[in-house]
Amino acid sequence: MDSSFCNSRCTICNSSGELMKSLKKRWLAGMASLVATALMVTSCGGGGATETAPTGGRESFKGTNLRVLLKEGYEIQAIQQFKGEFEQATGIKVDLEVYDEPTARQKLVLDSTSGTGTYDVTSGSFWNMPEFVSAKWLEPLDEYVSKAKDEWLEMDNIPKGALESMTIDGKLYALPHTIIGGMFFYRADVFQELGIQPPQTTDEILAAAKVIKEKRPDLVPFSARGASTFASLGTEIGWSYGYDALLFDKDGNPKANSPEMKKAMADFVTLMKDYGPSDAATLTFTQAGEKFSSGQAAMMFDTSGFGTIFEDAKQSQVAGKIGYTLPTGPSGKKLQWLYNEGLAITAKSKNKNAAWLFLQWRMSRDTTMKELTQLNRTDVPNLNVLQSKEYTDYMASKGLEEFSTALQGSWEGTTAEHWPFYPEFTSIGDTFTKEISAAIAGSKSVDDALETAQSELTTIMKNAGHLK
């Protein structure tokens, strides 16, 4: 592999002032590095640590108990399934707590603000990084990386673009175990049966939903996240990006009630309200995916990460029956679902060295190779695995060449242009999704929902000092 793809570097600035002006530009540079890596994979088939970084053997922290706080998702299955191997190799006991994303965040907030130090390791979504780092809840990892001796950790095997997404003000705060773009999933067998062409635009998605509802009333035409939580925001603003609708302009002014946003959300709410399941307004990440994997839904828009689940016959009733596209909206721009997630050490942890050893094990080739071969995860965050003959053979043996191509396209099409990089992300996300959820539920019109969102977002931005 050309080292220029692997060694390009960028730094994301901190969560105050300059973050708002330059984070997107730097994020795009980081994602460009990640995209280049993804393309090559396909063609190939600091300071601040309060303890001295570990230099001893794997049993140096034998008898330690680690408390690990995780957000639910397929990327934690390797930890759940294989943590016993880490415990046996190190003598460290690992206690896991797994919650939905809002609850996991709240657990970290309470633990960090109280100074209790209950948790040693936590999941860190890229959208929470400005908040977590600004509040000093996470431990910088640079000194640990520089002194790492264990063969578990090979930093060159972690995509640089993903590392950059976990870097703020030149400091690395998490090791990324998730790399995700947007993707549209559809039941290829149902579309063939009904004579529907794979949707390439949002208009074609709406048209397909109408046909499916008329001709296959046993199916729910469409599924996506609709719950009133910030975890749904990526779906809604990723959809609206295809309409050239942004939630904020470059100066931080909310644009929730723009004509473009009204059109985008009118179409999305129509899909969810008229062609989605009866509980569309409350669907979370997990629930939306279950509608599709169980065979209840014929179409779904979410992250590329779901492909691993949907193509696994142990987890999905529709494995081998799926098609993939990444449609465009009226503006010609592709729909988006931007997401990266990493594992971080909490600043208040009393077991930071043991926690660091755990992070190294999680990112190792051995663990990520088992994710591929035993858990059927095809977007593992390890270049050594992604470039291996085992990976190429596995994808061919499972008939996943189409998904592999779609995954490349998803990463290639990823942009951060639409993302609200503010420490107040959670409040922003909760505010907007609450209104869209209400529109999906039918308790208010789309226009009324967006006017309310516009007003509340303006208040949030003014109170935070981003607007006068």
pTM beyond cutoff 0.85? no
Whether residue 161 lies inside any domain: the answer is: yes
Whether residue 419 lies inside any domain: the answer is: no
Is residue 349 classed exposed, middle or buried when 0-12, 13-18 and 19+ CB atoms within 10 A define those classes? buried
pLDDT value of residue 8: 27
154 plus 259 within the same structural domain: no
Which of 374, 389, 412 is the last residue in one of the domains?
412
In the chain, the number of structural domains is 2
Separation CA 247–CA 450 (nearest Å): 11
Q: Which residue's entry shows tokens 């460009």?
A: 32
Q: Which residue's entry shows tokens 């992300």?
A: 425
432 plus 458 within the same structural domain: yes
Separation CA 151–CA 149 (nearest Å): 6
Rounded to an integer, what is the distance from CA 223 to the centroid of its chain? 18
Whether residue 70 lies inside any domain: the answer is: yes
Instruction: Tell me which amino acid residue 69 is.
Output: L
115 plus 212 within the same structural domain: no
Whether residue 82 lies inside any domain: the answer is: yes
Q: Provide CB contacts within 8 A for 227, sequence distance 6+.
A: 281, 282, 283, 284, 287, 433, 437
pLDDT value of residue 370: 97
359 plus 333 within the same structural domain: no
351 plus 428 within the same structural domain: no
Whether residue 417 lies inside any domain: the answer is: no
391 plus 256 within the same structural domain: no
299 plus 173 within the same structural domain: no
- Per the structure, the complete domain to which residue 202 belongs is given by 182-337+424-463
pLDDT value of residue 50: 40
Whether residue 441 lies inside any domain: the answer is: yes
Separation CA 335–CA 301 (nearest Å): 9
Strands 175-180 and 171-172: unpaired
Domain CATH number, residue 257: 3.40.190.10
Strands 121-125 and 299-303: unpaired
385 plus 246 within the same structural domain: no
- Mapping DSSP onto H, E and C, the string for the chain reads CCHHHHHCCCCCCCCCCHHHHHHHHHHHHHHHHHHHHHHHHHHHCCCCCCCCCCCCCCCCCCCCEEEEEEECCHHHHHHHHHHHHHHHHHCCEEEEEEECHHHHHHHHHHHHHHCCCCCCEEEEEHHHHHHHHHCCCECCCHHHHHHCCCCCCCHHHCCHHHHHHCEECCEECCEEEEEECEEEEEEHHHHHHHCCCCCCEHHHHHHHHHHHHHHCCCCECCECCCCCCHHHHHHHHHHHHCCCCCCECCCCCECCCCHHHHHHHHHHHHHHHHHCCCCHHHCCHHHHHHHHHCCCECEEEEECCHHHHHCCCCCCCCCCCEEEECCECCCCCECCCCEEEEEEEECCCCCHHHHHHHHHHHCCHHHHHHHHHHHCCCCCCCHHHHCCHHHHHHHHHCCCHHHHHHHHHHHHCCCCCCCCCCCCHHHHHHHHHHHHHHHHHCCCCHHHHHHHHHHHHHHHHHHCCCCC
173 plus 211 within the same structural domain: no
Whether residue 68 lies inside any domain: the answer is: yes
pLDDT value of residue 410: 86
170 plus 188 within the same structural domain: no
CA nearest 54: which of 253, 345, 293, 267?
345
249 plus 326 within the same structural domain: yes
Strands 65-71 and 93-99: parallel
Separation CA 305–CA 76 (nearest Å): 12
208 plus 105 within the same structural domain: no
CA nearest 331: which of 240, 417, 207?
240
Q: Which residue's entry shows tokens 């999906």?
A: 440
Whether residue 389 lies inside any domain: the answer is: yes
How far separated are the first and last CA of the chain, in Å rounded?
49
Rounded to an integer, what is the distance from CA 107 to the centroid of its chain? 19
Reading the chain (468 residues) residue by residue, the pLDDT tens digits are 333 223 322 322 333 344 444 455 555 555 555 555 554 554 454 333 344 444 457 999 999 999 999 999 989 999 999 999 999 999 999 999 999 988 999 999 999 999 999 999 999 888 888 889 999 999 999 999 998 878 899 999 988 878 888 998 899 999 999 888 899 999 999 999 999 999 999 999 999 999 999 999 999 999 999 999 999 999 999 999 999 999 999 999 999 999 999 999 999 999 999 999 999 999 999 999 999 999 999 999 999 989 988 998 999 999 999 999 999 999 999 999 988 899 999 999 999 999 999 999 999 999 999 999 999 898 888 989 988 999 999 999 988 888 888 887 887 788 888 999 898 999 999 999 999 999 999 999 999 999 999 999 999 999 999 998
pLDDT value of residue 56: 57
| Structure token pair of residue 253 | 């002014």
pLDDT value of residue 7: 30
φ/ψ (deg, to 5) at 243: -105, 10
Cβ 92 vs Cβ 85: under 8 Å: no
